[in-house]
Structures are given as structure tokens and as C-alpha cells.
Amino acid sequence: MSEKSREKITVFKGEVYYRYIKGETEEPIVETLRIIKVRRTAVTGLCNEKKIELTATELYNNYTLVNPDGYVTFTVACLADGNKDVVITLTRKEDGGNKCTMPYAVCRQAIGDVFTNQLIKDSSVFLVGTSVNKDNCPQNVEYKNVLSCNSIEYSRTIACYKYDTVDSLLSFIDTTKFDETLVKLYNKAPTVVQEANITLPVKGFCKTLRELMESNEFDYDFLYAFKINKVNFKLERHCDIDDSGSMIPTEKLCESQVKILEDIIGNYIFNTYIIPYDLDINFNDIQRNYIMICDTERMVYIIAYDLGEGLDRTECSMYNEIKNQLLHYKSVMEPIMAKAKNNHK
């Protein structure tokens, strides 16, 4: 490859690159660099909280790309009625990455909430804004229609990895244009709608991109895309007591945590082992059953385990029944009710 063609290399914000550097011992140290700014022939990367300026050629010659798990695109879309909308989409690597035409998940403002308005039938409010993915889209909703618009006015695409959060994704973009679009929508929004001959107040319009993503639980769809299960506990190391009575650290889950995962998996599990998720993990090297979880601190872990017999527990039946009733939406009822509560304020 010529030096000239290297200068034209395509780089996305959010991409992670690595290289091996000499350490104090004979073992090389892995240095990672995450791209935070892209110019025509140069990039700015963040390495150990320090900014590093590189030409595209220097990046190509000295670093290796860690293939992104997906791409998140933030868009200002033009609608048929002359208004504009803010749309956030997620495409996974297996969907075709940044060249995919049908993203796995979409979050947007100017649309009725395809879940809550169906599930909370006795609600006295019509909620707008939604986040949905291919696997949990209600059967009576055409998924491609959730993506519809006339044209795209402005967009920014970020490379993402399984450990990313709303905070980390937003750190890569200037949200000004998106926030301005949302404020205009908010100011022009109708105050009521007619639903089944009933006049309902409209709630759910947001003034910032962050509010749109958080109030519609985009993070759930992000984790769902990568088969990461949200759990309601903080994963902390605990200790076992050995034969001498001494406390020894363990990499196993405690009994209550095991029970929660058993309810998700539908089987008894044992011999659990906690592996903090990192980019250098090769899933093909894991020779056991495993499940990925995200705890209340938004930390992602791989839990390896041995599989036991199928569960016959009331809690497990209730878990699966609720999950099916809610069309796999947000996996539990709390986010739905919390959203309705917040929008009544």
C-alpha cells in the first residue's frame, strides 16, 4: 500500500487501536488508543487519559485496529410534515457493520412509544419517543416503519464496543445540533392526541439527546444487541472460609446471585467463575457455558458455569411469563412504570 493511499484510510471516532511497547521487564506492554477526533489526514487518540496526535499513516503503521462490535449513528432526519426528528441507530458487526442498511436497534423522538402505549392500557397519557430492536419489536408494528424518514440532514457515526455506555458514546460527539432539533420539536409538540375517541395529553418529548436515550432505555437495547443481561446487583468479590477458618477471595458468584442467573438461564448452574470483560478476550477460548451480564455499576462480566438440570421454580416461571407478556421489552416492568411515572410529573 502506498503512502498516499494510507493517508486516505477511513477512521471512525470511538475505534480502539493497540500496539505492543517495551516495558520494564522482558514482557511487552499493550498500549491502547481510542480515537476521539478525526480530521482529513490525522487523528487524535486518548491513551491513559493523555491525548496523542497522529497522522493516518502513523496510525496505520504503528497500531492495529480492534474490530468494533458495532456502530452507533446519530441522525437529524427530515420528515414528510416538514419537521425534523432525532434518530439513533445501532448496527452490529454481524449485521454488516457501518455498511448495514437495516440497523439492529433504533431510538427516536417523533414517534409514539410502540411499547408503553400498548402495555399500559389504563394510562391517562400518550407517550412519545421509543427505543426498539429487531427482536423485541411488537408483532403489530412494522420494524422498518420505525426507521422511516424523507431524508437525512446531518449524521455522525461512532464505533462502539460491548462495554460502551450512553456516557461514553455521547463523549465522542457534539450534541448541539441534536439538542437544538429536540428543543424545536419540544416547543412545537402537540399537547393532546385523539386515541380511540379519547383525548390524551402527550408526554415524552425531550430537550437533549441524553434525555432521549436515557428516558427510552436505549442502553437496554444496546446490551440486548450483544446478549448482555442486566442484573439488579453489584458484582463484588466475596470470600470463602477455608478449612483453617481463614477468609480467601473467590471468583465465584454468591448464592443469591447464582439464583438470579438460574432464573434467566432456566437451569441450575454451578461452578461459576467471574471474568471481567475486556477487549482481549477471545470467546472461542471459553470452553464452558457462559452468560454475559451487566451489573448495577454498568460493569460487564462474563460468567462461566457448568449447566445442571432444568429449573422447576415458581420464580423462574414467573420471570419467563413476565418476559413473554412484555414482548421481551426491557425484561422487567420497572422501566416502563418508571417512564410513565416520570412523564406524569
266 and 298: one domain? yes
Would you place residue 182 in the very low, low, confident or very high pLDDT band (cuts 50, 70, 90)? very high
Q: Is residue 328 part of a domain?
A: no
**What would the mean pLDDT of 276-297 be, rounded to a whole number?**
92
**172: domain range?**
70-226
Q: What is the pLDDT of residue 137?
A: 87
125 and 218: one domain? yes
List the Cα angle 310/314/317 in 5-degree steps.
Answer: 65
Asked whether residue 11 carries a pLDDT value surpassing 90, the answer given is yes
Asked whether residue 275 carries a pLDDT value surpassing 60, the answer given is yes
DSSP SS3 for 117: helix
What region, left, alpha or beta, does residue 266 occupy, with left being phi > 0 and alpha being psi -120 to 50 degrees? left
Instruction: Give the C-alpha separation, 265 to 97, whole Å.
Output: 29
97: exposed, middle or buried (Cβ count in 10 Å: 0-12, 13-18, 19+): middle
161 and 85: one domain? yes
Asked which of 198, 226, 254 is the last residue of a domain, the reply is 226
25 and 120: one domain? no
Instruction: Give the C-alpha separation, 71 to 81, whole Å.
Output: 29
The highest-confidence range among 164-168, 249-253, 266-270, 328-332, by mean pLDDT, is: 164-168
The highest-confidence range among 3-17, 254-268, 328-342, by mean pLDDT, is: 254-268
167 and 47: one domain? no
Q: Is residue 336 part of a domain?
A: no
According to DSSP, the residues that pair with 301 across neighbouring strands are 276, 293
32 and 111: one domain? no
CATH (domain of 16): 2.30.30
Tally the domains of the chain.
3
Quick one: DSSP state of residue 13?
B
Q: Is residue 325 part of a domain?
A: no
101 and 215: one domain? yes
Phi, psi of 87 (to 5 degrees): -125, 130
The highest-confidence range among 92-101, 118-127, 300-309, 324-333, by mean pLDDT, is: 300-309
Q: Is residue 327 part of a domain?
A: no
164 and 130: one domain? yes
What's the whole-model pTM score?
0.82
Q: What is the pLDDT of residue 117?
A: 63
82 and 177: one domain? yes
51 and 182: one domain? no
Q: Which H or E run contains 316?
A: helix 314-325
Q: Is residue 261 part of a domain?
A: yes
C-alpha distance from residue 223 to each of 115, 153, 226, 257, 270 (Å): 18, 28, 5, 19, 25
135 and 216: one domain? yes
267 and 304: one domain? yes
Q: Is residue 341 part of a domain?
A: no
Asked whether residue 180 carries a pLDDT value surpassing 90, the answer given is yes
Q: What is the pLDDT of residue 101?
A: 75
C-alpha distance from residue 145 to each of 132, 134, 148 (Å): 12, 12, 5
Q: What is the pLDDT of residue 1?
A: 42
Q: Is residue 319 part of a domain?
A: no
Q: Is residue 317 part of a domain?
A: no
Model confidence pLDDT, tens digit, residues 73-100:
999 999 988 899 999 999 999 887 667 7
- For the ranges 216-230, 234-248, 272-286, 301-315, the lowest mean pLDDT is seen at 234-248
Q: What is the pLDDT of residue 248?
A: 56
